[in-house]
Amino acid sequence: MKKLLAVFALCAASGMAADWTGYIIDKTCSSKKEMWGDEACAKRCLARGDAAVLVTEDGKIYNVANQDKVKESAGKKVTITGKIDGDTITVEKLVPSKD
């Protein structure tokens, strides 16, 4: 019975929304820290079809499931509220960062 409750608790926790802060950047430039925050470059790359990702300050890269929610924030630092599955975030809300 305890094992069953633990499984239910884990499933419930994985379905909850959480927050991540980082930069919306194209996948190609996401590993180059000097490109984080380069709005002009990110906009060009996303316009040509590159996938947008969220890269956190510690360099963790998350794919974005719903690209339409982040394209307008190319190159900007944001906080995303959403759900994560592996390394992919489904964005529920995006707020520009104040710093």
Mean pLDDT across 83-90: 97
pLDDT digits (tens, 9 = 90+) for 25-47: 999 999 999 999 999 999 999 99
Bridge partners of 25?
A: 53
Burial of 12 (0-12, 13-18, 19+ CB in 10 A): exposed
Structure tokens at 73: 């924030």
Q: How far apart are CA 86 and CA 63, in angstroms?
A: 9
Query: With 70 as the cut, is the pLDDT of residue 3 above it?
Result: no
Query: What local confidence, expressed as pLDDT, does residue 75 receive?
Result: 96
Query: What local confidence, expressed as pLDDT, does residue 30 receive?
Result: 94
For the chain, domains (ranges, CATH) are 17-96 (2.40.50.500)
Task: Tell which wins on pLDDT, 99 or 85.
Answer: 85
Distance of CA 12 to CAs 5, 17, 21, 70, 99, Å?
11, 10, 23, 26, 33
Mean pLDDT across 57-69: 97
Percent of the chain with pLDDT over 90: 80
Query: With 90 as the cut, is the pLDDT of residue 78 above it?
Result: yes
Q: Sort strands 61-64 and 52-56 into parallel, antiparallel or unpaired.
A: antiparallel
Query: What local confidence, expressed as pLDDT, does residue 22 receive?
Result: 97
